[in-house]
Structure 1
Amino acid sequence: MRMGFGLYQEQTQKLIMTPELRLAIKILQLSTVELTELIENELVENPLLEIAESAADTVDVADAAADTQNEKSTEQELADQMEKVDIDWDQYFNDKAGSLNDFTPSYQEEPPRFENIIAEFPTLQGYLMFQLAFSPLNVEEKLVGEFFIGNIDDNGYLHCSVEEAAVKCSVPNNIAEKVLEIIQGMEPPGIGARNLEECLLIQYVQLELKNKLLKEIITNYLHEIAAGKIMKVAKKLGVQLHRVQEALDLLKLLEPKPGRIFSPADRTRYITPDVVVEKVDNEYIILVNDVSAPRLSVSDAYKNIVRGNNTDQESRKYVEEKLNSAVWLIRSIEQRREMLYKVSRCIVDYQRDFFDRGVKYLKSMNLRNVAETLDIHESTVSRATAGKYMQTPRGLFEMKFFFSSGVSNIYGTSTSAEAVKKLIKELVEAEDQYKPMSDQRIAENIQAKGVNISRRTVAKYRDEIGILPTSQRRRYKK
Structure 2
Amino acid sequence: MALETKLYQKLTQQLVMTPQLRMAIKILQVGRMELEAMIVDEMAQNPVLEEVSESVEEPKLETEVPSVDGQTASTSSDEWQPEAEAAPDVAAASGLGEIDWKDYVENYGNDFHGAPASGGGEDDDKRPALENTLVRTNSLVDHLMWQLRLSDMTEAEQTLGGVIIANLDADGYLRCSVEEIAFMAGVDVETTENVLARVQCFDPPGVAARSLSECLLIQLRQKGLGGSLAATLVRDHISGLEGRRFDKLARELKVGMAEIADAARVIATLEPKPGRDYGDGDIRYITPDVYIQKVADEFVVTLNDEGLPRLRVSQFYRRVLGQSETSEAKGYIQDKMRAAAWLIKSIHQRQRTLYMVTQSIIKFQREFLEHGVSHLRPLVLKDVANDIGMHESTVSRATANKYAHTPQGIFELKYFFTSSLRSSEGEDVSAESVRKKIREMISAEDPKRPFSDQCIAERLAKDNIDIARRTVAKYRELMGILPSSKRKQFFGS
Partner residue of 2:239 out of 223, 238, 260: 223
Secondary structure at 1:286 match in 2: strand
Q: Distance in 1 between matches of 2:26 and 2:176?
A: 48
Change (3 A) 1:470 1:161: closer
Match for residue 19 of structure 1?
A: 19
**Corresponding residue SS for 1:153:** coil
Which of 114-123 and 209-218 deviates more? Answer: 209-218
Separation (CA, whole Å) in 2 of partners of 1:387 and 1:92: 42
Residue pairs, 1:152-191, within 5 angstroms:
152-159=168-175, 177-191=193-207
The aligned residue for residue 326 of structure 1 is 340
Consecutive unaligned residues of structure 1, counting only runs of 5 or more, are 98-109
RMSD over aligned Cα, in angstroms? 3.5
* CA drift at 1:220: 1.0
AA matched with 1:388: K
The 8 Å contact of residues 69 and 390 in structure 2, kept in 1 or not, is answered as no
Letter of the aligned partner of 2:144 in structure 1? Answer: L
| Cα pair distance change 1:442/1:19, threshold 3 Å | same
What is the distance in 1 between the residues matched to 2:87 and 2:144?
64
Superposed displacement of residue 290, structure 1: 3.1
Distance 2:126 2:32 in 1: 17
- 1:195-217 per-residue CA deviation (whole Å, 9 max, x = no partner) reads 22111101112234578322111
Question: Residues 113 and 365 from structure 1, CA distance in 2 versus in 1: closer, same or farther, beyond 3 angstroms?
Answer: farther
Distance 1:236 1:230 in 2: 10
* 274-283 or 397-406, which deviates more: 274-283
Q: Is residue 145 of structure 2 the alignment partner of residue 147 of structure 1? A: no
Which residue does 2:408 correspond to in 1? 394
Q: Secondary structure in 2 aligned to 1:391? A: strand
The secondary structure found in structure 2 opposite 1:476 is: coil
Q: Cα gap change, 1:182/1:88 in structure 2, threshold over 3 Å: closer, same or farther?
A: closer
Return the offset for 1:338: 0.4
1:267-306 aligned within 5 A: 267-281=282-296, 283-306=298-321
Structure 2 letter corresponding to 1:440: Q
Query: 1:76: which partner in 2?
Result: 70
Name the SS of the counterpart of 1:76 in structure 2: coil
1:127-151 CA deviation, whole Å, 9 max, x = no partner?
1122223334444443343333233
Task: Give 1:235 shift.
Answer: 3.2
Letter of the 1:302 counterpart: Y
- Tell me the secondary structure at the aligned position of residue 264 of structure 1: coil
How far is the alpha carbon of 1:273 from its aligned partner?
3.1
Q: 1:105 is matched with which residue?
A: none
Contact 2:170 2:276 in 1 (8 A): yes
2:491 is the alignment partner of 1:474: no
1:157-208 deviations in whole A, cap 9, x for unaligned? Answer: 2345666666766778776555433322221111122222111101112234
Secondary structure of the 2:345 match is helix
* 1:251 aligned partner, one-letter code: I
CA distance in 2, matches of 1:182, 1:418: 50
| Counterpart AA for 1:185 | C
Counterpart of 1:204 in structure 2 is: 220
Please name the residue that 1:106 is paired with: none
Give the corresponding residue for 2:55: 56
Which deviations, in whole Å up to 9, do the C-alpha atoms of 1:277-315 show, x marking residues without a partner? 34455654333233333321111112234445x745454
For residue 55 of structure 2, give the secondary structure of its aligned residue in structure 1. Answer: helix
Verify the 8 A CA contact 2:94 2:321 in the aligned structure 1.
no
Which of residues 370, 376, 394 is equivalent to 1:380?
A: 394
1:62-461 equivalences under 5 Å are 62=61, 64-66=62-64, 74-77=68-71, 79=72, 89-90=89-90, 114-116=129-131, 117=133, 119-159=135-175, 177-209=193-225, 212-265=228-281, 267-281=282-296, 283-308=298-323, 311-409=325-423, 412-461=426-475
Query: 1:333, CA displacement in angstroms?
Result: 0.7
**Secondary structure of the residue that 2:379 maps to in structure 1?**
coil
**1:376 CA drift (Å):** 1.4
Offset, 1:446? 2.1
Question: What SS does the corresponding residue of 1:57 show, helix, strand or coil?
Answer: coil
8 Å CA contact retained: 1:89, 1:306: no
Q: Which amino acid aligns with 2:471?
A: T
Change in 2 beyond 3 A, CA 1:115/1:337: same
Task: Measure, in 2, the Cα distance between the counterparts of 1:6 and 1:173.
Answer: 79
**Letter of the structure 2 residue corresponding to residue 115 of structure 1:** L
User: What SS is found at the alignment partner of 1:75?
Assistant: coil
The alpha-carbon distance between structure 1 residues 275 and 190, as it changes in their structure 2 partners (threshold 3 A), is same
TM-score by length of 2: 0.79
Match of 1:277, SS state, is strand
Q: Match of 2:483, as an amino acid?
A: P
User: What displacement does 1:121 show?
Assistant: 0.7
Distance 1:146 1:318, change over 3 A: closer
Mean Cα deviation higher: 327-336 or 249-258: 249-258
Report how far residue 364 of structure 1 moved. 1.5
Which residue in the other structure is 1:104 paired with?
Answer: none
Query: Relative to structure 1, is the Cα distance of residues 339 and 175 closer, same or farther in structure 2, using a 3 angstrom cutoff?
Result: same
Seen in structure 2, the aligned counterparts of structure 1 residues 288 and 95 have a Cα distance that, compared at 3 Å, is farther
Partner Cα distance (2:38, 2:487) in 1: 50
**Structure 1 residues 458 and 96: alpha-carbon distance in aligned structure 2, compared to 1, 3 A threshold:** farther
Whether contact under 8 Å (2:73, 2:349) holds in the other structure is no
- Of residues 30-39 and 380-389 in structure 1, the stretch that sits farther from structure 2 once superposed is 30-39
Whether the 8 Å contact between 1:211 and 1:247 is mirrored in structure 2 is no
Give me the TM-score of the superposition, normalised by structure 1: 0.81
Deviation at 1:428, TM superposition (A): 1.0
Cα drift, residue 250 of structure 1 = 2.0
Q: Which consecutive unaligned segments of at least 5 residues does structure 2 have?
A: 1-5, 76-85, 98-124
> Are the counterparts in 1 of residues 161 and 199 from structure 2 also a CA contact under 8 Å?
yes
Structure 1 residue 42: Cα displacement: 2.1
Deviates more, 1:223-232 or 1:427-436: 223-232
Alignment CA distance shift 1:358-1:239 (3 Å):
farther
Note if contact 1:275-1:286 (Cα within 8 Å) is conserved in structure 2.
yes
CA distance in 2, matches of 1:137, 1:255: 27
* 3-state secondary structure, aligned to 2:482: coil
